[in-house]
Structures are given as C-alpha cells and as structure tokens.
Amino acid sequence: MKERIEQLTRELQEHNYNYYVLSKPTISDYEFDMLLKELHDLEKKYPQFADPNSPTKRVGGEITKSFETVFHKYPMLSLSNSYSIEEVEDFETRIKKLVDHDLEYVCELKYDGVAISLTYKHGELEKAVTRGDGIKGDNITTNVKTIKSIPLKLFGNDYPQEFEVRGEVFIPKEVFVQINKEREENQEQLFANPRNAASGTLKMQDSSVVAQRKLDCFLYSLNGENLPYSSHYENVLKSAQWGLKVPDYKRKFIAKCKNIAEIKEFIDYWDKERHKLEFDIDGVVIKINSYRQQQELGNTAKSPRWAIAYKFKAERVETILESISYQVGRTGAITPVANLKPVLLAGTVVKRASLHNADQIEKLDVRPGDTVYVEKGGEIIPKVLGVNFSKRPQNSVALEYISNCPECGSELIRVLGEAVHYCPNSDECPPQIKGKLEHFVSRKAMDIDGLGAETIELLFQNGLVKNIGDIYDLKKESLLSLDRMAEKSANNLLQGIEKSKTIPFERVLFALGIRHVGETVAKKLARYFKNIDSIIDSSLEELLSVEEIGEIIAKSVNAYFSDKRNLQLIEKLKNKGLTFALSSDQLADKTDKFKGLTFVISGVFSIFSRDEIKELIEKNGGKCTGSVSAKTSYLVAGEEMGPAKKEKAEKLGVKLIDENEFAAMLK
Ligand code: IVH
C-alpha cells in the first residue's frame, strides 16, 4: 500500500503542476478527482504512510487563531519607484558609476499582489511567511498550502537542501470579479481590488475558506547559500524545473536586457499589453542580473540599489456623464451609478462607473452633462475621479440626491455613521422583495430547484409570493393556473420547496438575507448560538464575542431580530418545518475525521482522561479497541504504558502518538 500511496502522490503532484503551473492538463478534472479520492481513502486507512505534504492536504480546514511571528533570514526590502523613463536612465547612470564591469539587466513584471517568502527544506515546503515589516512576518503556511500552484514537494534532485523563494500571491482578475459578485449578492463589503482581496484572504483564520478563493502565485527570486547559478535570471529559470511557478520567458514575463533601449522596449510593450493579462500588474521591475554586482551595489535602508520599479500610470480618460441612475439592492441599499458616453479604457468599453454614495457625489460635485475623468486603476469597476470643470455647461445646476426610492417612492433613510441611503420599505419595494426571494432560493442558501429569477418574477407578478414565507404556502392548483407552468414544473417546484426544509440551520440563517451576514458569518453564528432563539435573545456584546464578528455585523444582526416583521416571518418558517437549530450530530460536534480509523488507548494521561480520549475518538467517527492488532491505526500512548503493547505496536508498524499529537489531530 505504501507504494501505491507514493505513486498516487507523485502522479497527483505531476498533474497539479501540469494544470496550475503549466496550464496544460493531461487528464480530465474527473480523472484527477478520482485519483485524489483514491489517495484520500488510502491515507485514511493507512495514516502511517500519509505525507504531511500530500496533494490531499490542499483543501484546507485548519484554523489559525493568531499567526506566529517569524523572522526573515534575509530581510524583505521594498523597491524604489520611478514613474518615467528618465528616472530609469538616472538609475542606470548611478549604477554605471558604482560598478565597472559590463551590466546585464533583467526586466520583470511587477505583480500587484502580496509578497510572500517560501522556505523549502529537503525539497519540501517548510514555511510560508508574509513580508510583514520586512524584518519579521506572519507564518501563514496553512493558508499558503491551499494555493495549488505552489508545490508542497519539489521535482528532481538538484535543488539546494535549503533555500528561500520569494514571489507574489494574487487573485486572477476573473476570480476577483466572481468573488465580489458573490459578496455583493450576500451584501458583504466588496473588496476594492484584487490586491486587497488577496491580502485579506491570506490572513483568514479558516484555511478552508482560503482554499475556495483560488489564489495564484508567481515566484520571482531565490535566496540561499547553494543556489546553482551566480545570477538571478538563471536561477529563476532553473527553479522552474523543480516545479516552481516562475514567470514565463516565452510570454515575455521576464527578459534579459543589455541596455536602456531594450528596457524601454520591455516597458512600452507591457504598458500596452498589460490589460490583456489574466492578472493585475502595476509596473515593471528592473534588476541587475549578477549576484556579485548586486552585492557590490548593496542596499539602502529600505531598498536595494540594484533594482528599481517602473510604475505605469493608471489609465484615465475623459467622457461625458449622461445621467445618474439609482439601483436598489435586496436590502434596500441605494447605489448611484454614472451612465457614461461609452469610452475605451484599459482595453474595454466603459459605459457605467461607480459613484459609491451621496457623499462621494457631493465631494466630487458631479452633475449630469459634466465631462468627467474616469479611471480604471487596481479596481475592476471603473470609477469617476473628478470633473473637468472647464468643460461644465453654463446652465448646469448642482445635483440633488434622491430623497425617495426610485422603485417604490418611499422616503429614503440614512443610518447615522453610514454613507449609504436605504429604502426602508423592505416588504413592499419590488426589487427588494424579488432580491430577497432570489437570494433565499439560491444554490448556497435554500437551493430550491425550479425556482429561478424568472419563476420568481412570474409568481410575484401574479401576486402568489410577496415574501419568503409565501413560498411555503404555494399550492399546486394556484401554480397550474399560471401561464408557462405545466404539471411537471409545478411538481418539481413543490418538491424542491419540500426538500428545502432539511437544509441545515446555518444555510437557513444565511438565506434570511440579513445585511452583512454572508455564508461564513452565518456559519459562525450558527455554531456559536446553536439555535435561532439564542440568536434572537443575544445582546450586542455577546454577538461581538463571536469570532470574526465586528460591530457592523453585530448591529445589523441585532437590528434584524428587533424587527417584529422578521420575528413573525421566522415563526411562520418554523411552523412550516424549516431547520432553525443545529442537528444533534452538529451539536455533539460529531465529525468523520477519524472514520475508518481504529485506536488503542494505553497508559495514564495528563491533559485528557482515558474516557475523554475514547469519547473524542468516537465522536469523530473512529473506533476504540482493547488490544493492538494489524488493524490498529494508532496507539495513543500515555505514561506507564504496558511494555508488551508497545512492543507489539512497534512490531506491527502501528504508529504511536502521545496525547499532544492526538490533540493536534483533532484540530
Ligand atoms: S523584487 C528587494 N520582483 O513589489 C526587491 N518584487 O516594492 C524585492 N513585486 O514587496 C522584490 N513583482 O511584493 C520583485 N518581479 C518582482 C515583483 C516584486 C511585484 C512587489 C513585491 C515587493 C514590492 C516591492
């Protein structure tokens, strides 16, 4: 079995590399999943052969309360910036004065993400640390292990026994758009740009959430005592053979340059082409290739003298703001949007731009008919930066922000301390009603089959549903009376509704659509309070004591459950049979972590009692037996354990663990 586990591990590593580093998969996703499942099952059955850096360890799951501080072996400096080619020329002149040999430059992309330092020891990823203050950073290894393009084990046998590689973790543009779309649907605060999203993600406590965020990474430099070459470019390219995802020279992500003309060519090329990349860059980095020359040049307090960053100017254009429209979200939040005369910006035609809120409009003093500056910086959604006042039409009048909802006419309200206006008419305002219904039935919430946006519109137009509770009053006869609703779809829909009653508590809580309560927050609340009544009765202080819940969320939860209409809705849903408490399995903290594993407990313990250990094993799906046999997976060994047991375990290759190791397995 050991051989099969090793073979699967190798094969899966290779496939991971083909897929995530080379972007050239050689097997289907399905085949990959099957191999991964086989390995997963084998590792569960034979944990003694499981590798801590196995490809199965990429899904996350470990929670880190606070990250350990680690000192960098080599300080992580920053780069001095330049904004014009003249400044790059000055850089060259400076260097030529300090070094008298021929110079070779390396031009690279400046990735707009989060710097990371990885240490590989004996070909295995040992730790991953953030830049921090440059001297010490956070140990975020558990989170980084979920990034599939970072190898946990290296290929080949000619890598140094210990070395450090640095790079940039980022979120590809497309993934970023998707994450923000989901956050918008969940009424969670949007990430301003992919860099913020990447840095927020890397610092999350729950690595399984990190795993879902699809982070990627480019590794751009090596440090160590026994690197194969004495120059930067050669080492970077060599390390690609070990499976590291380094910049692709074939795509011109990295190039050697002999002089300023070649450097300029590289910069100009990427200034034009950068918008076509699948990730953000904010400039080009120019480095001296030879390590010896790098050393000769040395560092200033903050940055190396042998490198400089050239930053691109954020592209900005002028266009006419034709009108402002106001969107109403499912929680009633009003978003002003600028409708622009279409204009080409950073490779796409822009017709709309964000205006954020009333304060922003007032600050910029934008008015319909104005010529405005629009920029697409790190952000994906373009934004209006300001007004070209010299082009303002003479008859222009200051814009008055709407005071009534554009959809239902209700007077808008503004919560003290918040910038956003809300329409309070949550029960009657059509986009709010439909938005809440759509959210409630969506896949990650109640997942009701046969109830998409179109059907909701149909039911709403015909007066059959006006709120979430009405869904559970739907009858077959009334459904059949609708156009476009045949017997089969009606049955389907009713079945889907029935099935939703078994959806677990945390998803019901998420489905309610409480402002700022996304999937993760709903889960944390459900786990902490265990049932809806405890949440309803909770105080602000108690809410604040829940992990990852801050003031804004706590206040929002409190406000939601202070509203009588919401309490009535919950009462109704309870009566209809929806799940408003954790199941007994969830309550008992039952997991299948130890499924298929057999334990023998022997000796005296100091942290746990024997009974506690037994209970924990059983709660987590494992089995306890009295004597060691070939079927035993682990012998949990305490003080004064019988020597016969120990000897037998050793003979059979059963793994011995102490109570600390046992506790670690439970984490
Ligand atoms: S070299 C001492 N190369 O830019 C030189 N940095 O301001 C350190 N960055 O913290 C880094 N792409 O996060 C280097 N190709 C690249 C880079 C790069 C992005 C970031 C990195 C660093 C910051 C420096």
The pick from 74, 76, 79 for probing ligand 1's pocket by mutation, whose C-beta has the most ligand atoms within 8 angstroms, reads 79
Sort residue 589 into left (φ over 0), alpha (ψ -120 to 50) or beta: left
Cross-strand pairs, 343:
350
Calculate how far, in angstroms, residue 242's C-alpha sits from the geometric centre of ligand 1. 22
* Helices 610-619 and 659-666, axial angle in degrees (round to 10): 30
**Model confidence band, residue 7 (pLDDT cutoffs 50, 70, 90):** very high
Q: Which atom of ligand 1 is nearest to the CA of 113?
A: 13
Q: Out of 2.60.40.10, 3.30.70.20, 3.30.360.10, 2.40.50.140, which CATH number does the structure's domain 316-414 have?
A: 2.40.50.140
Calculate how far, in angstroms, residue 79's C-alpha sits from the geometric centre of ligand 1. 6
- Nearest protein CA to atom 6 of ligand 1, as residue: 110
pLDDT, residue 379, reads 54
Q: How far is CA 211 from the centre of its chain?
A: 7
For residue 372, pLDDT over 80 is answered with yes
Q: Per residue in 223-264, pLDDT tens?
A: 999 999 999 999 999 999 999 999 999 999 999 999 999 999
- Please tell me if the CB atom of residue 111 comes closer than 6 angstroms to any atom of ligand 1: yes
* Helices 453-461 and 430-441, axial angle in degrees (round to 10): 140
Q: Per residue in 279-324, pLDDT tens?
A: 989 899 999 999 999 999 998 878 999 999 999 987 788 999 999 9
Instruction: Read off the pLDDT of each residue in 373-386 and give the average, rounded to a whole number.
Output: 78
- Please tell me if the CB atom of residue 304 comes closer than 6 angstroms to any atom of ligand 1: yes
Domain 430-502 has CATH 3.90.380.10: no
Instruction: Read off the pLDDT of each residue in 521-532 and give the average, rounded to a whole number.
Output: 92
Please check whether the two domains, 430-502 and 505-587, share a CATH topology: yes
Which residue, 62, 356, 308, 309, is CA-closest to 189?
A: 356
| Separation of alpha carbons 405 and 418, rounded Å | 18
- Nearest protein CA to atom 13 of ligand 1, as residue: 115
For residue 30, pLDDT over 90 is answered with no
For residue 446, pLDDT over 80 is answered with yes
Mean pLDDT of the chain: 90
For residue 523, pLDDT over 70 is answered with yes
Percent of the chain surpassing pLDDT 70: 99
- Please tell me if the CB atom of residue 219 comes closer than 6 angstroms to any atom of ligand 1: no
**Model confidence band, residue 377 (pLDDT cutoffs 50, 70, 90):** low
3-state secondary structure of 88: helix
Give the H or E element holding residue 40.
helix 29-45
Calculate how far, in angstroms, residue 620's C-alpha sits from the geometric centre of ligand 1. 45
Cα angle value 107/109/110 (rounded, 5°): 115
DSSP class of 367: -
For residue 380, pLDDT over 70 is answered with no
Contact in structure between 533 and 481 (CB atoms under 8 Å): no
Q: Where are the domains of the chain?
A: 2-58, 97-310, 316-414, 430-502, 505-587, 598-666
What predicted TM-score, i.e. pTM, was given to this entire model? 0.66
Instruction: Read off the pLDDT of each residue in 41-62 and give the average, rounded to a whole number.
Output: 84
**Model confidence band, residue 192 (pLDDT cutoffs 50, 70, 90):** confident
Calculate how far, in angstroms, residue 59's C-alpha sits from the geometric centre of ligand 1. 28
| Separation of alpha carbons 632 and 640, rounded Å | 20
- Nearest protein CA to atom 17 of ligand 1, as residue: 110
Question: CB atoms < 10 A from the CB of 494, how many?
Answer: 15
Q: How far apart, in Å, are the Cα atoms of 168 and each of 110, 281, 493?
A: 9, 11, 47
Q: Per residue in 193-230, pLDDT tens?
A: 888 899 999 988 888 888 888 999 999 999 999 999 99
Domain 2-58 has CATH 1.10.287.610: yes
For residue 92, pLDDT over 60 is answered with yes
Which residue has 């050393």 as its token pair? 295
- Please tell me if the CB atom of residue 91 comes closer than 6 angstroms to any atom of ligand 1: no
Calculate how far, in angstroms, residue 32's C-alpha sits from the geometric centre of ligand 1. 34
What CATH number is given for 505-587 in this structure?
Answer: 1.10.150.20
Contact in structure between 522 and 440 (CB atoms under 8 Å): no
Instruction: Read off the pLDDT of each residue in 580-595 and give the average, rounded to a whole number.
Output: 84
Calculate how far, in angstroms, residue 69's C-alpha sits from the geometric centre of ligand 1. 21
Q: Per residue in 152-168, pLDDT tens?
A: 999 999 999 999 999 99
- Please tell me if the CB atom of residue 153 comes closer than 6 angstroms to any atom of ligand 1: no
- Please tell me if the CB atom of residue 280 comes closer than 6 angstroms to any atom of ligand 1: no
Which residue, 353, 382, 418, is CA-closest to 193?
A: 382
The set of catalytic residues is: 110
- Please tell me if the CB atom of residue 270 comes closer than 6 angstroms to any atom of ligand 1: no
> Among positive and negative, which fits the CA dihedral 403, 405, 409, 411?
negative
Instruction: Read off the pLDDT of each residue in 98-119 and give the average, rounded to a whole number.
Output: 93
Find the Cα–Cα–Cα–Cα dihedral 618, 620, 622, 628, rounded to 10°. Answer: -80
3-state secondary structure of 307: strand
Give the per-residue SS3 of 353-414.
EECCCHHHHHHHCCCCCCEEEEEECCCCCCEEEEECHHHCCCCCCCCCCCCECCCCCCECEE
Domain 97-310 has CATH 3.50.50.60: no
Q: Out of 3.40.50.80, 1.10.10.10, 3.40.50.10190, 3.40.30.10, which CATH number does the structure's domain 598-666 have?
A: 3.40.50.10190
pLDDT, residue 404, reads 97
